[in-house]
Chains A and B, each alone.
Chain A
């Protein structure tokens, strides 16, 4: 085993090499300050290393190498992108760069939305209170240097402030045109007191991507987040979601992942105000050279909050599913209700499920539980369906979809859930 001091030195050396090879983008005073602070965090922490406990089940090298690997473009064969049937404010990125020509005008009642590239040129912007601050807070108790790298180098993203109840969702669409692009996108979202916002995200983003979304949900506000991470097999990427939930505020976040050579989705949620609620869910389907990692940290830092994590993975033919989830309940957070379930369905022998579901609890009047299971399709259920005349393939499909349903149920608006369910069904049918 490598001595701890040596590992730390190795991580820092790797960071030094990377930082030297990249110039910090030019910008106004507020963002320059945030970027410099992020750089010093990276130097201090060093780059993630596969020997880190935090990267126990996922080798981070494809994400930390100085160059990303190429990834072929996926042919959608005429299938319409997800969310296409809904009325929404379309904001399009191509290989991680905002494309105004394909986007709707950035105007929607109750929302202020500005590209990061534009705001970065000013000396003062409301986003300075958030940009990089939630990311910085997320560095404890575990280091997430990839996110700091993003704060330092990202030039693309949207700064979104929701003050009312917009009539349609904001839809962030990530298209690809290059087999090589290495994208860094950083969004900042503030949902003001009493406001209600829905943000949709879909598309494969880039051959390699590193994304950060920092969200502040103010008192009594509601934020719904629904994400579908494209299907391109060869991509690698990390997406970070950092959310501060205020008094009486609500978060619902759902992610659908289908394929990708390496996808790490990190979420850090702080329930900072009393009576807040955070639900985070994910449905994953993957086969072949697929490595998918959900890493979730929920911190109950105020009384009477509720949190719920529901993660379901269907894996086959060498696919690997990882779940690391932690509920931390501070001493002050009495009457916490925390629930977490992570489950995998392994469709054939060489799929893998690796999980570390944790509870860390310092308050006594709490109700916290977690469950984790792994197994194949229940042969008794399968037989029962077949005995009633349902063909085997269809019976399996039914059982797989019913397995995923608990995660999809976490989507508040059933129309979106139905759209995603259809995609999942199509994906499963194509693979028989």
Chain B
């Protein structure tokens, strides 16, 4: 019976997809803006702004110094040009580096103190902020799983749900500014230990001006009692969002973390430069899932988020495991390579990715699997879909160091083209420095199969539905890695992102 029930759920999800597709007529769903009074730092970037951000967050001296050091390093660096991205020059002095809803001037004690308009924003996004909300939405499901949510609105964190229940388990899940205040020893010890300040241009920028983000600490031996989730939303115009996430999984712990992103429609492009650091210790496991749905720009390529993200997990000790799953459908520019440093012996890294680029979107995304420990394993499954005038690049590195003997990597990277004005590119780097490791890389590029489309249409689906169905099939291997709630949203997103790509 179990198999059939599972089937029913799966089926429910798929129906959901189709219904959602049918119900959404054409455009970016999350493109409205919340009308709230904002408190901005002055436009532009200099040491005073860095100091201001630090003082707004009541940060200790060491963190201010750390930020200033990053800022000075950033000044000496160049914006990277190796990605297959055509980016208009970014004027870093024309951005706001700090924006905060005025009602947040005094930090709310609980969600009840949060401006109802902000909560309304999240309700519109479909995020259950209130505790005890039932999720899943599967027919007949009496009780969904609980998900603790931290919501970041422009520069600041709004509050984290389920604090008490998590605290009982010893889990810390709060905004990073709160963590700086309450757990300075943890932050000081791990911040920048996976992604150093000068790792790259955008990481340096983030280190200087990061405003908020989430902090997760799972104590030794604890299996986090619920999924943790952060929702990011850029609301204010000309505002950069620079969140910083730090996750620490102590020995033998487990956590699944979800991240979602949206932004309103705007003519001007907006900057997003985030850093995510994950430290995974002995026998611990972290699963990190992202559905990135920032505003992609309109159908003429106007506006949209510039998304420059550095995400890295360090499997620092033996048998640590990390799994990245990403569904990248938004942003005008995506520059993102969630990576795994497989330092310990018998460590495991996984990367599952769907990247969809339609209209004028450009995506250059992939992963790095750096094998340092013996018997380490990694697996990469990447599905890229290009439509319209978009360019979509998979860029990845698999590196087997001399001491990483008996390690394995398997990479499968497939690209699908819809229309003859887009591009699909594959740029893998494979570096094998010992003989006993085995590396396998396969990549294919093809167009949506006409026979499959015809078959679907002859069964009554219209062309867009047929494309959505076939593309969802193409992505299946990755979609099934997502937690159920995200899988539904992701399937719907796949379909929505491809609207207007056929016919």
Contact = CB atoms under 8 A, between A and B. Distances in A.
Are any A and B Cβ atoms less than 8 Å apart in their complex?
yes
Interface of A: 1, 3-4, 53, 331, 334, 344, 346-376
B81 interface: yes
Interface string B448-461: 00000000000000
Contacts of A355: 428-431
Given A4-B81, A349-B434, A361 B439 contact: no
B432 A371 contact: no
Given A4-B78, A372-B430, A374-B430, A360 B423 contact: yes
Contact residues on B (Cβ < 8 Å of other chain), bracket? 35 or more
Nearest to B82: A53
Contact of B435 (A3, A346, A371): A346
A358 B439 contact: no
B425 A358 contact: yes
A375 B431 contact: no
B443 A344 contact: no
B419 interface: yes
A370 B438 contact: no
Given A359-B443, A361-B425, A348 B435 contact: yes
A366 B445 CA distance: 7
Interface string B407-433: 000000001011111111111111111
A353 B439 CA distance: 10
B437 A375 contact: yes
A369 B441 contact: no
B81 A358 contact: no
Interface in B377-430: 400, 402, 405, 415, 417-430
Nearest to B428: A357
Contacts of A375: 435, 437-439
B268 interface: no
By Cβ-Cβ distance, the 6 closest A-B pairs, closest first, are A346-B435, A364-B417, A375-B438, A374-B432, A359-B426, A355-B430
A46 to B, nearest CB: 17
A354 B435 contact: no
Interface of B is mostly: strand
A366 B402 CA distance: 38
A369 B432 contact: no
Nearest to A378: B438
Contacts of B428: 355-358, 372
A359 B444 CA distance: 9
A331 B431 contact: no
Given A365-B420, A366-B417, 18 more contacts: A349-B402, A349-B436, A350-B435, A354-B432, A357-B426, A358-B425, A359-B445, A360-B423, A360-B425, A361-B445, A362-B422, A364-B420, A365-B447, A371-B443, A372-B439, A373-B439, A373-B441, A375-B437
Contacts of B22: none
A366 B447 contact: yes
17 contacts: A53-B82, A334-B420, A349-B405, A349-B434, A353-B431, A354-B431, A356-B427, A357-B441, A358-B425, A359-B425, A360-B84, A360-B425, A363-B420, A366-B445, A371-B442, A372-B441, A374-B439
Contacts of A357: 426, 428, 430, 441, 443
B34 interface: no
A358 B82 CA distance: 14
B110 interface: no
A351 B430 contact: no
A325 to B, nearest CB: 11
B132 interface: no
A374 B424 CA distance: 25
Contact of B420 (A1, A53, A331, A372): A331
Nearest to B409: A374
Contacts, number: 122
B193 interface: no
Contacts of A374: 400, 430, 432, 437-439
Which has the most chain A C-beta neighbours within 10 Å: B77, B426, B427, B435? B435
Contacts of A347: 435
Interface string B125-153: 00000000000000000000000000000
Given A369-B442, A371-B442, A374-B437, A362 B423 contact: yes
Given A374-B439, A375-B439, A361 B417 contact: yes
Nearest to B443: A370
B440 interface: yes
Interface of B: 77-78, 81-82, 84, 400, 402, 405, 415, 417-447
A141 to B, nearest CB: 11
| Among B78, B400, B417, B445, residue most surrounded by chain A Cβ atoms (within 10 Å) | B445
B418 A351 contact: no
A347 B436 CA distance: 9
A346 B432 contact: yes
B447 A356 contact: no
Given A361-B445, A363-B420, A365-B447, A370 B426 contact: yes
A363 B424 CA distance: 9
A371 B440 CA distance: 7
A3 B435 CA distance: 35
A364 B420 CA distance: 5
A364 B424 CA distance: 9
A356 B446 CA distance: 20
Contacts of A361: 415, 417, 423-425, 445
Nearest to B445: A368
B417 A352 contact: no
A315 to B, nearest CB: 8
A359 B391 CA distance: 13
A374 B421 CA distance: 35
Contacts of B445: 359, 361, 366-369
A350 B441 CA distance: 21
Residue among A53, A344, A353, A374 with most chain B CB within 10 A: A374
Contacts of B441: 357, 370-373
A369 B418 contact: no
A268 B431 CA distance: 23
Most buried by B among A331, A353, A359, A371: A359
Contacts of A362: 420, 422-423
Contacts of B77: 1
Contacts of A367: 445-446
Contact of A354 (B82, B430, B437, B444): B430
Given A331-B420, A358-B425, A351 B435 contact: yes
A344 B400 CA distance: 14
Nearest to B76: A3
A359 B418 CA distance: 17
A140 to B, nearest CB: 15
A92 B392 CA distance: 50
Nearest to B402: A350
A293 to B, nearest CB: 14
Contacts of B417: 361, 363-364, 366
A366 B449 CA distance: 11
Contacts of A53: 82
A331 B386 CA distance: 14
B379 to A, nearest CB: 15
A357 B428 CA distance: 6
A406 to B, nearest CB: 16
A361 B400 CA distance: 28
B438 A358 contact: no
Contacts of A4: 78, 81
A234 B345 CA distance: 38
B488 to A, nearest CB: 29
B402 A369 contact: no
A347 B434 CA distance: 10
B410 to A, nearest CB: 10
B438 A373 contact: yes
A314 to B, nearest CB: 11
- Name the residue among A4, A53, A334, A372 with the largest chain B CB count within 10 angstroms: A372
A358 B424 CA distance: 11
A359 B429 contact: no
